[in-house]
Structure 1
Amino acid sequence: LQILDVSNNELSEIPVELADCPKLKEINLRGNKLKDKRLEKMVNSCQTKSILEYLRVGGRGSGKGKGKTDNSDKEEIRKKKRDKRQKKDSGDGEQDMLEEVNKLMIKILHIAENPAPLVVKVSPNIKEVRPYIVCCVVKGMNLKQGNALKRFLSAQIKLHEDICERRTAATIATHDLQLIKGPLLYDAQPPSELKVTPLGRKEIKAKDLVRQLQLEAEEQRKQKKRQNVSGLHKYLQLLDGKENYPCLVDAEGVVISFPPITNSERTKIRKTTSDLFLEVTSGTSLQICKDIMDTLILKMAELNKFTLENKEEESVSDGESDMTSEPVNANPSQNAEQEQSPLTVEQVRVVDADGNLKVLYPSKTDLTLVSSLLTIIR
């Protein structure tokens, strides 16, 4: 730290530990109502060096005898100030414990503990097209209550616009795990051969889908008389120059994902979905995929907690004929147990054509980006 500007805030005390920053050259504390009146005068008239010296010997007038104060005295002064501050904060201990209890929780299920782990095999064809993919399974999401599903879908859109940089950095896809047959293959296929059933559409060849979307985009521009287009049409340029298109295919040959354009209607998540298969793909880097997956899992934990705490009524339908015949609240004790249990994140292995491990997510080093906001049970 070389420059620190915390002027015009509501600080009443300045921590003495600030004096231990060896490279701090400039500090601005003006405009704060400090309890130490001498320090308050100093911040308006003295140089940074003098202010740090004053803090170094403990402040509150101790600077008068700084020539006679040895290191042990300085440390004693600092210790007293720290103890005083800790004592002052001890009243908040109960609140801190409460916050820790209320912290978002997820449980990691390791490959070794999973009797039937999902595996994704990467085809050599994908290397020049969109080489990076990270996957995992999340179990225990509550999408039945109220607007939980809408909130989840809206969160994905926001992540695509924000951290995914409008899908130029990476693309997220979420699927109903129960509708997927593993193992999966991450492949690249010619547009004239790749068949996909896009969300809300019938099965179509990728080449024809892209042409259809281009025509729709032109129509949108004419109607709205502007350059901007919405929906899938925004991402068509990401396929420019690609001889083959990326796709994720299940064991039955069903294309469940066509990044960065669309998921498949066949594996679409619904209100009855509680177990999800997540994928993040990128043409940029593997670390971007991991960072975005970290953020997605954190967002899912937040949404689940919000849904459970707000006790929204269970919706009868999500506007589509996709509800199962499972009775609502058939087993109240089971529902209560589900509400108390954390989300479970199952590890998924990504391997090459020879079965060699390429990526395991989440590994011990993953979820560090969001670790301060999550309690992770490994």
Structure 2
Amino acid sequence: MAATSEQWPEIEKAEKEKRRELVFQGPAVDDKLRACGGQLPPALFSLSLLNYLEVSGCPELRELGDGVGRLSHVQSLVLCRNKLQRIPPALGELRALRVLDVSGNELEELPAEIAQLSDLCTLNVSCNRLRELPAGLERCTKIAGLNLSKNCITEFPPGFLCSQLALLASISAADNRIQELGEEIGLLQGLKSLDLSNNQLTDIPCELADCSKLKEINFTGNKLKDKRLEKMVNGCQTKSVLDYLRVGGRGGGKGKKTENAVKEDVKDKKKKRERKPKKDNGGDEDDPDEELNKMMLKILHISENSSPLIVKASASTKDVRQYIVCCVVRGMNLKPGNALKRFLAAQTKLHDDICDKRTLATIATHDMRLVKGPLLYDARPPKDVKIVPLGRKEIFAKDLVRQLQFEAEEQRKQKKRQNVSGLHKYLHLLDGKENYPCLIDAEETVISFPPITNSDKTKIWKSTRDLFIEVTSSSSLQICKDVMEAIIIKMAELNKFTLENKEEVVCDSEPEPDVGHQVPAACQIPETETGTQLVVEQVRVTDIEGNLKVLYPSKTDLNLATSSFLVVR
């Protein structure tokens, strides 16, 4: 135990404090794992009170160890982005386990004992090397979410798609080698989301239309025999696809319609012609063209991202500006015409309206290429915060505030009125603050000083396509989320406006910025993309010890009740 106390003081501390949660992340943990031969220390498995255990982002973790079965109270086990090559059968002894995340490892198989986890609700095995799933998974009758993306799976296990899985709401099996989706899929009455993009399917069974709750499907990247159906799925027309399957079935062209179905089609077409002039007042939700014109927001889950951006928030921000929500938005097109000016103007308007002149929240946008993670959200004395403000030279925060105060006074004298403009009107938000909030990158460079300014280092250019967005507030976390949703919606609208107006592309006059953050393959968007899709990449904000504070967007975020958007999760 002495060796463990020296090498793993976190374990001894958790035991003394009877902690229920424990998180290990990063290079420091890797060094300890290397000393343990790539395995977790046996002493960890004596923490019988744990109900949440996370070991993530540790390439040295290769073996989990049979002792994991002793963690009898663990409900969530997160082992993502490691180098695990094997999951021991002892995992099946964790009868209280509800969430299992082993995404981003090197697993080639899963133990059959996983089927013994009767309380399992979420299973994420994406980004591995799995060729098949273990038999008997249908016995996990409480499972609601299943993520199998980016593996080598060729089929679902026989008997898996059955009525016993009444709670199964989401299946993500993109980027596999699945060749057939059986008619049993219609037995999943609770299914709401199905992603089988980039597989080897040639048909879609008509029984899929029996899934009454199904709202989101993705079959893009499959070479379907029915070319009309293939065109429809590439347009992401969920309702239209299900209607087509309902009358056609098994990819059988236009389908053999009944006499009543033909009459209904005639009626529908007549109604569409009658409603066409009223398109601006709501239009026809069944119109395929309208489905194609929807603005798409694709959510990239953090477990699908091989290099997620990490943001840690220190406790010192609590007394200054404690709430922060972040995400990455990829696919903006700022090159044509005045696209960049429109984006900056929209951000300013949001600051004036929903942010109530930055008193409720502040938005900061950065060129993701220039953001070098991991990031630290901290509060420091003004004399210790040095930044290169937008359009200015490097300066300490205390000197910048003093300079802005002087400029504000000069403005008042010249204009002979109390109102001031620009950054000067936000100075009062720092009154009485001993420390100033700041966001710091991996090179100890301050890239944001809310609510005053961003750094020139990560400024937005016309060539910017991927943006890191932060929203901070001293009021509430929900305000941060509301503001974040507002700017994402505005970005999608601006992208669509730019596309539809076909403005002339203006070449960059600025030098191409150096790449600071690699774009994950899962969210790369070609330059020739239509422009109607944005990828919103989840960003996790934790405390200094790695405990989760907020993940955005979560399942409850970006649930847009509007016909203009299609959100793919």
Same fold by TM-score greater than 0.5: yes
Shift of residue 104 of structure 1?
Answer: 1.2
Measure the CA separation in 2 of the matches of 1:236 and 1:204: 16
Q: Which residue of 2 aligns with 1:151?
A: 342
Aligned to 1:181, what secondary structure does the other structure show?
A: coil
- What pairs with 1:269-348 in structure 2 (closer than 5 Å)? 269-317=460-508, 321-322=510-511, 335-336=527-528, 338-339=529-530, 342-348=533-539
Measure the CA separation in 2 of the matches of 1:249 and 1:334: 30
The match for 1:364 among 555, 558, 564 is 555
Measure the CA separation in 1 of the matches of 2:410 and 2:384: 27
Contact 1:271 1:323 in 2 (8 A): no
1:136 aligns with 2:319: no
Shift of residue 309 of structure 1?
Answer: 1.2
Q: Which residue of 2 aligns with 1:92?
A: 275
1:229 aligns with 2:420: yes
Q: Which residue of 1 aligns with 2:207?
A: none
1:114 aligns with 2:277: no
- Give the aligned residue type for 2:433: K
Q: Which residue of 2 aligns with 1:82?
A: none
Measure the CA separation in 2 of the matches of 1:371 and 1:257: 33
Q: Which residue of 2 aligns with 1:242?
A: 433
The match for 1:260 among 440, 451, 454 is 451
Measure the CA separation in 2 of the matches of 1:193 and 1:324: 27
Contact 2:295 2:532 in 1 (8 A): no
Q: Which residue of 2 aligns with 1:103?
A: 294
Measure the CA separation in 2 of the matches of 1:116 and 1:92: 48
- Give the aligned residue type for 1:321: E
Gaps of 5+ in 2: 1-266, 277-282, 515-524
1:210 aligns with 2:401: yes
Pick closer, same or farther for the CA change 1:322–1:219 going to 2, 3 Å.
farther
Shift of residue 166 of structure 1?
Answer: 0.1
- Give the aligned residue type for 2:482: D
Measure the CA separation in 1 of the matches of 2:432 and 2:449: 16
- What pairs with 1:192-211 in structure 2 (closer than 5 Å)? 192-211=383-402
Contact 1:210 1:236 in 2 (8 A): yes
Which one scores higher on RCO, CA 8 angstroms, separation ≥ 6?
A: 1
Measure the CA separation in 1 of the matches of 2:531 and 2:450: 35
Query: What do residues 285-330 of structure 1 show as CA deviations (whole Å, max 9, x unaligned)?
Result: 000000010010000000001111111111134xx634579xxxxx
By percentage of residues, which structure has more helix? 1
Shift of residue 193 of structure 1?
Answer: 1.0
Measure the CA separation in 2 of the matches of 1:366 and 1:262: 27
Query: What do residues 177-197 of structure 1 show as CA deviations (whole Å, max 9, x unaligned)?
Result: 110110100000000111111
Query: What do residues 143-174 of structure 1 show as CA deviations (whole Å, max 9, x unaligned)?
Result: 11111000000000000000000000000000
Shift of residue 374 of structure 1?
Answer: 1.6
Contact 2:383 2:397 in 1 (8 A): yes
CA-atom RMSD in angstroms: 2.2
Contact 2:538 2:552 in 1 (8 A): yes
- TM-score normalized by the length of structure 2: 0.48
Contact 1:270 1:322 in 2 (8 A): no
Measure the CA separation in 1 of the matches of 2:498 and 2:441: 31
Q: Which residue of 2 aligns with 1:177?
A: 368
Measure the CA separation in 1 of the matches of 2:325 and 2:369: 19
- Give the aligned residue type for 1:200: G
Pick closer, same or farther for the CA change 1:215–1:340 going to 2, 3 Å.
closer
- What pairs with 1:27-42 in structure 2 (closer than 5 Å)? none
Shift of residue 273 of structure 1?
Answer: 0.6
Moved >2 Å (runs of 4+): 85-96, 98-101, 320-325, 333-336, 368-373
Query: What do residues 48-76 of structure 1 show as CA deviations (whole Å, max 9, x unaligned)?
Result: xxxxxxxxxxxxxxxxxxxxxxxxxxxxx
- What pairs with 1:11-30 in structure 2 (closer than 5 Å)? none
The match for 1:164 among 339, 351, 355 is 355
Query: What do residues 325-365 of structure 1 show as CA deviations (whole Å, max 9, x unaligned)?
Result: 9xxxxxxx9543x2256110000000011101110000110
Measure the CA separation in 1 of the matches of 2:343 and 2:434: 34
Pick closer, same or farther for the CA change 1:341–1:213 going to 2, 3 Å.
same
Measure the CA separation in 2 of the matches of 1:259 and 1:300: 21
Query: What do residues 180-220 of structure 1 show as CA deviations (whole Å, max 9, x unaligned)?
Result: 11010000000011111110001100000000000000000
Query: What do residues 210-231 of structure 1 show as CA deviations (whole Å, max 9, x unaligned)?
Result: 0000000000011111111000
Shift of residue 87 of structure 1?
Answer: 10
Contact 2:429 2:451 in 1 (8 A): yes
- TM-score normalized by the length of structure 1: 0.71
What is the number of equivalent residue pairs in this alignment?
A: 284
Give the percent of matched residue pairs that are identical in Structure 1 and Structure 2: 68
- Give the aligned residue type for 1:309: E
Measure the CA separation in 2 of the matches of 1:126 and 1:348: 19
